[in-house]
Structure 1
Amino acid sequence: MVRIRPYTLTGGRTRSRFPLFVHSLISLSDPEAAPPSGLAPEAGRILVLCRRVKSVAEISADLRLPLGVVQVLVGDLLDRGVVRVHPTITGRRPTDRELLQRLLVGLEQLSS
């Protein structure tokens, strides 16, 4: 298997235009729509993963790509309108403790 440097996957970009966090939840905008043409293989794999709601951290782990690379690729998919970001906590700003608790529960689910 040929290894590609992460910065080549993003065209040298290191940041997404969108505020994507580790716990941001991503899914397909329209699960019935055909994927756009000209997608990089990694972007196509993200679309396959996002048939079910996934966090940016889960996508990163599943693809074995650095978090920053996944944030840029997901941002590109957001630009194209093929994925959407779900609100993670609605109605109020989470406290640090609440956020850490949610992350802990998510990590425990990944390991089981």
Structure 2
Amino acid sequence: MTPRGRRRAGMVRPYTPTGGRAAPTRRTLDLATLLIADPEKPLRGLDSHSHRLMQHCLPGVLSLAEVSTDLQLPAAVTKVLVSSLVDSGHLISRNPVPAAQQHDMHLLERILDALHKKL
């Protein structure tokens, strides 16, 4: 532990950006979750960390991992911030399709071959 008064410059405790919240309100967020910012939502009233996160997401779609890395925040902190922004409607989150729900390419090719034979 660093003695008081001797912290590294730029060091921020993880609970500071989250306002003391330790857990996200949404348990469905993972590093592959895609984040889409709502450009119509006003950014005023957001704390500085949430405001910065929103500005970073506004150009397009980013994964939670990309946002965490680009903003140099721990993934757990980013999840808390993102879950609050999803709750407020500033962000839309899209989880990746689980492997069990993806289509079997071999099966699809067999169906396509059978359809071609019928024509």
- Structures share a fold, TM > 0.5? yes
1:48-87 equivalence runs, <5 A: 48-51=55-58, 52-87=60-95
Choose which of 34, 45, 56 in structure 2 pairs with 1:25: 34
Matching residue's letter, 1:49: H
C-alpha contact 2:32 2:95 (8 A) present in aligned 1:
no
Q: Which runs of 5+ in 2 are unaligned?
A: 1-8, 101-119
Q: Is the 8 A contact 2:31 2:64 kept in 1?
A: yes
Q: CA RMSD in A?
A: 1.6
* Equivalent residue number for residue 41 of structure 1: 48
Q: Counterpart in 2 of 1:100?
A: none
Distance in 2 (CA, whole Å) between partners of 1:23 and 1:53 is 12
Q: Which has the larger radius of gyration?
A: 2
Q: Percent identity?
A: 37
Distance 1:40 1:11 in 2: 9
Structure ranking higher in helix proportion = 1
1:50-96, Cα deviation, whole Å (9 max, x unpaired): 1211111000000000000000000111111110012422xxx315x
Contact conserved, 2:29 with 2:95, CA < 8 A, in 1? no
What is the identity, as a one-letter code, of the residue corresponding to 1:86? Answer: R
Aligned residues: 90
1:84 counterpart SS class: strand
Q: Provide structure 1 residue ranges, at least 5 long, that are not aligned to the other structure.
A: 96-112
